[in-house]
Chain A
Amino acid sequence: MTHTVGNDGAEAAVRAPTPSLPTPTPELRRSSRSRGWVIVRGVLLRIGGGLFVLWAAATLTFFGLRLIPGDPAQAILGGPGSQASAEALAQVRADYGLDQPIWVQYIAQLGRLATGDLGTSYSLRSPVAEVIGAQIGGTLLLAALALIVAWAIALGLAVWSTRGGRIAAAVGSTLEIVAAAVPHFWLATVLVLVFSTALRWFPAVSTAGPEGLVLPVLTLALPLAGFLGQVMRESVLDALSAPFVLSARARGESENGVRWRHVLRHGSLPGIALSGWAFGFLVSGAVVVETIFARPGLGRTLLNAVQLRDVPLVVGVVLVVALGYVIMTVATDAASRLADPRLRRQGVAL
């Protein structure tokens, strides 16, 4: 169970034989030079895979945005109660190259991206890199705090519900399912009504201080904790019945020692593997949370940009998120290896 979850798609890609690369002979495989080559090949494959993900994300976003209804030029100038003149539209089309055939626009965009130039936002009229640079901090802070809080809740719940008997198990698993099923917008509204309007404990919208972070972080963390808790509790239960727990107990290890030193390490493996996915979950959640709690950030930038058909900005944000996802996948893979010695041994065999 843990084994399969630990080996995510990226790892499978590393192991898959690639026709374009020479297959080392068994003799070479044993030499240290071949081991170096294997590592280099692994790194190259990862970089190649990452680049492919980025290219695919940029391409899908570009065509996706241009195929849905809506004229970017009109959207740049439009809005309720205003109406674009012929001159203004012609000017905008020429300025932004929107009068070119779509393939020319796509190639031009790709060319710019290849040189690291994210272009200029249609709607904000400033460089996309600058916009993202100004907004990314808020989202990363929100996502990181939510991930930590979700982990804490999930671990606590997993430990408590596996040791508290049948009722605790039932309560724990119900809480996890409910939390995982709750949509962000609903949870946000309920949290505002309870903790801001009724109890006045926390502000409803962002503030300069940390108190404004409480409700947005909880909104993001609770559903995630539900997901993490579900997989962790299952693998904690698996571990509790595993022979190594029996031998630890036989060595005279205390119950807490067994749980924190052995069982949780085992139980956290699927959680670690899920954290890469969790990053995507948190970023999509940030779109809702930043809008409802009026927080500056990439999620809100993305929503506005999609509504305005601001292609460069949407592509830029999507690329940054995709890059984050690639990095998180590599990081969780490494973290899985640290937590699970079996994966380290397989790494050597590779």
Chain B
Amino acid sequence: MTATTAILLAGCAGASPATTESTPVAGGTLTYATGFGEPTCLDPHVGGNMPQALLGTNVLESLFSQDADGAIVPWLATAGTPSADGLSWDITLRDDVTFTDGTPFDAEAVKANVEHMKDPATASSTAILALGKVADVEVVDPTTARFVLSEPDSALLESLAQTWLAMESPAGLTRSQEENCEAPIGTGPFTVESWTKQDNVTLVRNESYNSSPTGAAHEGTAYLDKIVWRFIPDPATRFAALQAGQVDVIDEMQPDNVVTATSSEDLAVLQGALPGASIRLELNSGYAPFDDERVRKAFIASADVNPGIESLFFGTVERSYSVLSTSTPYGASYEDDFAIDVDKANTLLDEAGWTTRDADGYRTKDGQRLTVDFPISTNQSIPAEQSLFEQIQATTKEVGFDVQLHPLDLSSWYASLAAWDFGVTSAIYTKNSADVLRILYDSANIQPAPSGYHPNHSHVDIPELDELLTKAGQTTDADERAAAYADAQKILSDGAYVLPLYDHLQKIGYRTSVQGLSLLPTLQLPYLADAWVQ
């Protein structure tokens, strides 16, 4: 228990700059090795995933940022004011910022960026979704951009704070997509110098940088001359390279490596919870057997995850009882709804008509076995997590569930979700706003997009919940918003649609020769403008 606390404390301490003892020195190269994968395009408007956001944070900046509590703070914009009816927002901008190609940052640039994100030819998926309610951007004057909305959007400024909606040079955007993908032009502390595919992206310091985000340890140009951004997919190799000093910083650390690094003099760990949804099991309530609330409750009452979380993760994560990440405001925990009670689970299954057992001990009804298919994305679930799912399989077997684990690659996993071919699954959704609840649990998102993708994996279809989520997404009254989100989460908890497990942690390992490393709160991504190497 003491060890657990120590590691978690080390993680919390990391949210602020890692060390403040020595004086920063300018110069030097930092090698960052990512396990999130290599983007196919460095412009985060195109597509829009985590690898792009990670790299993009060093090059591109957003209109707004968030502080450690998730509150909106200015960045390239100085303020955002809604109209009385909530149907337009006047965003005022800094007048002293230029893109690294010399193009001035102004309202015209904001308009060009929104148009670029909404243009089908850009093939945006994340940004275009976040801008769903934005009908148009009007240039009021060079430092005022008016966002005209089709309906009120309480999450607009949070959306605009994400790196996927970062501001790029309008001159850069007029280049071909190939060119812009190779080296997007922003206002950030670094610029893209070169990209050697499957090897590294080299970033160099922006010498005229003047737009540090709120909360940065220092203003002005970055300390580092250069960042070599490497792609090392294998977690064991990535950690070995860090231990050997071949790289200075790594992400996507495995739990056992976190423990090793914490007890090493040369290494340290920086942790933060990715915002959005927690890592959780979604029970598919649209199809048998989980269309019966009693069966869902029996599953949750028998899926004993706490021992597994403690042993498999070596105390590096804490059990969560909330659908929302701890770094996302408005999260609510209803711990009692997730108590383990084998007797209750058995009673519920008896009541639901699963009264007989077959030779293997699994419950049956009308000759059908109580089977729950569980597709697992091996891209998203780390080995410790996959072992945890095996433990869930074992504990739910005691009351008669036959959980079938199916490890799949990303494309096959998406395909099985699209076909509703699962009883339970675990999906990641990163978004810096409680509005993620609307995306995941509004009945409108049961309807598949043409791709077949539907974010509402639990197949939750409750008009009252839809109403609460719509209200929370439109109101500009903070108390009203909080109450609506709390009620919405209570409905999810009462209906046993979701089993929260733990926060999706950003686990950054670094050599102690690296100083000033921190996480930018908006998406909990590493911020390197304050970092220097000794």
Residues of A that sit less than 8 Å from B by CB: 68-71, 73-92, 123-126, 131, 134-135, 189, 192-193, 196-197, 200, 203-207, 291-297, 300-301, 304, 307-309
Whether A296 contacts B411 in the complex (CB less than 8 A), given A85-B449, A88-B124, A125-B177, comes out as no
Is residue B313 contacting chain A, with contact meaning CB distance below 8 A? no
* A77 B412 Cβ-Cβ under 8 A: no
Complex Cα spacing A91 to B47, Å:
13
Q: Which residues of A contact B234 (CB under 8 A)?
A: 291-294
Give the Cβ gap from A348 to chain B, nearest Cβ, in Å: 48
The residues of B that contact A86 with a CB separation of less than 8 Å are 449-450
Whether, in the assembled complex, B178 has its beta carbon less than 8 Å from a beta carbon of chain A, the answer is yes
Quick check: A91 and B241 within 8 Å, CB to CB? no
Is there an interface contact between B40 and A192, defined as CB atoms closer than 8 Å? no
Residues on the A chain within 8 Å of B247, using CB: 205
Check if A81 sits within 8 Å of B237, measured CB to CB: no
A134 to B197, CA, bound (A): 8
Q: Mark B184-223, 1 if CB is under 8 A from A, else 0.
A: 0000000000001111000000000000000000000000
Given known contacts A292-B234, A296-B199, A307-B410, A82 and B126 CB-to-CB distance under 8 angstroms:
yes
Q: In the complex, A135→B198 CA distance in Å? A: 9
Q: Are A203 and B411 neighbours in the complex by a CB distance under 8 Å?
A: no
Write 26 A-B pairs (CB below 8 A) sorted by A numbering.
A70-B412, A74-B414, A74-B418, A74-B453, A78-B453, A80-B49, A81-B50, A81-B276, A83-B125, A84-B449, A91-B121, A125-B41, A125-B178, A126-B178, A134-B197, A193-B240, A196-B241, A197-B244, A205-B237, A293-B237, A294-B233, A295-B198, A297-B198, A300-B233, A307-B409, A307-B410
> Mostly helix, strand, loop or mixed at chain B's interface?
mixed
**Measured between alpha carbons, how far is A69 from B419 in the docked complex, in Å?**
10
Query: Which among B177, B429, B451 is the interface contact of A71 at CB below 8 angstroms?
Result: B451
**Chain B residues closer than 8 Å to A85, beta-carbon distance:** 124-125, 128-129, 449
Q: For the complex, give the distance between the alpha carbons of A88 and B128 in Å.
A: 9
Question: Which A residues are CB-close (under 8 A) to B380?
Answer: 80
B452 close to chain A: CB less than 8 A: yes
CA A85 to CA B38, docked complex, whole Å: 22
With contacts A88-B124, A123-B40 taken as known, whether A69 is within 8 angstroms of B411 at the C-beta atoms is yes
Q: Does B231 contact A (CB under 8 A)?
A: yes
Q: Which residues of B contact A84 (CB under 8 A)?
A: 125, 449, 451, 453
Judge whether B236 and A73 touch: CB under 8 Å. Answer: no
Q: Which residues of A contact B379 (CB under 8 A)?
A: 80, 307
State whether the Cβ of B430 lies closer than 8 Å to any Cβ in chain A. yes
Q: Is B387 an interface residue (CB 8 A)?
A: no
| B276 contacts across to A, CB distance below 8 A | 81
Interface residues on B, range: 35 or more
Contact A207 B128 (CB under 8 A): no
Output the least CB separation between A233 and chain B (Å): 34
Q: Contacts A69-B411, A71-B451, A81-B430 hold; do A197 and B240 have CB atoms under 8 A apart? A: yes
Judging by beta carbons under 8 Å apart, are B48 and A82 in contact?
yes
| Residue contact A292 to B451, C-beta cutoff 8 Å | no
Q: Kindly identify which residue among B240, B416, B455 contacts A196, using a CB–CB cutoff of 8 Å.
A: B240
Q: Is the beta-carbon distance between A131 and B197 smaller than 8 angstroms?
A: yes
In the docked arrangement, what's the CA distance between A177 and B435, Å?
59
Rounded to whole Å, the gap between the CB of B500 and the closest CB of chain A is 18
Given A71-B452, A125-B177, A135-B198, answer yes or no on A197-B243 (Cβ-Cβ < 8 Å): yes
Task: List B403-445 residues whose CB lies under 8 Å from chain A.
Answer: 409-412, 414-416, 418, 428-431
Task: Report the bound CA distance from A292 to B379 in whole Å.
Answer: 15
Contacts A192-B240, A205-B241, A304-B38 given; 18 further ones with Cβ under 8 A?
A74-B453, A79-B47, A80-B379, A81-B50, A82-B47, A83-B453, A84-B125, A88-B120, A88-B123, A91-B120, A91-B123, A135-B198, A197-B244, A205-B232, A205-B238, A205-B247, A207-B246, A300-B233
Which chain B residue lies CB-closest to A124? B40
User: Is the CB–CB distance between A192 and B414 below 8 Å?
Assistant: no
The answer on a CB contact under 8 Å between B231 and A294 is: yes
The 4 closest A-B pairs by CB, nearest first: A70-B411, A69-B415, A79-B49, A296-B198
Point out the residue from A77, A123, A131, A203 that lies within 8 Å of B241, measured CB to CB.
A203
B146 close to chain A: CB less than 8 A: no
Q: Is B94 among interface residues, defined by CB-CB distance under 8 A?
A: no
Distance in angstroms from A13 CB to nearest chain B CB is: 37
| CB neighbours of A197 from chain B (8 A) | 240, 243-244
- State A73–B452 Cα separation when bound (angstroms): 11
Distance in angstroms between the alpha carbons of A300 and B233 in the assembled complex: 10
B449 touches A291 (CB 8 A): no
Chain A residues near B177: list those with CB within 8 A.
125
Contacts of B38 in A (CB 8 A): 304
Q: Is A89 a contact partner of B449 (Cβ separation < 8 A)?
A: yes
Asked if A89 contacts B126 (CB within 8 A), the reply is no
Q: How far is the CA of A131 from the CA of B178 in the complex (A)?
A: 14
A74 and B452 contact, Cβ closer than 8 Å, known pairs A197-B244, A294-B233, A301-B198: yes
CA of A215 to CA of B451 in the docked complex: distance in angstroms?
Answer: 43
Min CB distance A11 to B, Å, is 38
A74, B451: Cβ atoms closer than 8 Å: yes
Q: Is B507 interfacial (CB-CB < 8 Å)?
A: no
Do A71 and B243 touch (CB < 8 A)?
no
Decide if B340 is an interface residue (CB 8 Å cutoff): no
Contact A83 B123, beta carbon cutoff 8 Å: no
Shortest beta-carbon distance from B504 to chain A in Å: 10
Q: How far is the CA of A73 from the CA of B47 in the complex (A)?
A: 11
User: Is the C-beta of B294 less than 8 angstroms from some C-beta in chain A?
Assistant: no
Q: Which residues of B contact A308 (CB under 8 A)?
A: 411
In the bound complex, what is the Cα–Cα distance between A17 and B411 (angstroms)?
47
Q: State the Cβ distance, B257 to closest chain A Cβ, in Å.
A: 11
In the complex, which residues of chain A have a beta carbon less than 8 angstroms from the beta carbon of B47? 76-79, 82
Distance of A193 Cα from B231 Cα, bound (Å): 20
In the complex, the answer to whether A83 meets B129 with C-beta atoms within 8 Å is yes
The CA-CA distance from A85 to B48 in the complex, in Å, is: 12
Within 8 A of A (CB), among B238-286: 238, 240-241, 243-244, 246-247, 276
Q: How many Å from the CB of B33 to the closest CB on chain A?
A: 8
State the CA gap A154–B504 with chains docked (Å).
Answer: 49
Q: Is A81 a contact partner of B449 (Cβ separation < 8 A)?
A: no
| A204 close to B411 (CB less than 8 A) | no
Asked if B230 is at the interface of the complex by the 8 Å CB criterion, the answer is yes
Interface presence of B181 (CB below 8 A) = yes
**Chain B window 103-146, contacts with chain A (Cβ cutoff 8 Å), 1 for yes, 0 for no:** 00000000000000000111111101100000000000000000
A78 to B379, CA, bound (A): 13
Assess the A77–B197 pair: CB atoms within 8 A.
no
* CB-defined contacts of B241 to chain A, threshold 8 Å: 196, 203-205, 294
Q: Quick one: which of B30-47 are within 8 Å of A by CB?
A: 33, 38, 40-41, 47
Contact A82 B178 (CB under 8 A): no
Return the chain A residue nearest B132 by Cβ: A85
Contact assessment for A81 and B428 in the assembled complex, using a CB-CB cutoff below 8 Å = yes
Q: In the complex the two chains form, is B244's CB within 8 Å of A75's CB?
A: no
Output the least CB separation between B254 and chain A (Å): 13
- Would B197 and A124 count as touching, CB distance under 8 A? yes
Report how far A92 CA is from B128 CA in the complex, Å: 15
What separation, in Å, do the CA atoms of A92 and B47 have in the docked complex?
11
Once A85-B449, A197-B240, A197-B243 are accepted as A-B contacts, the answer to whether A78 and B40 lie under 8 Å apart by CB is no
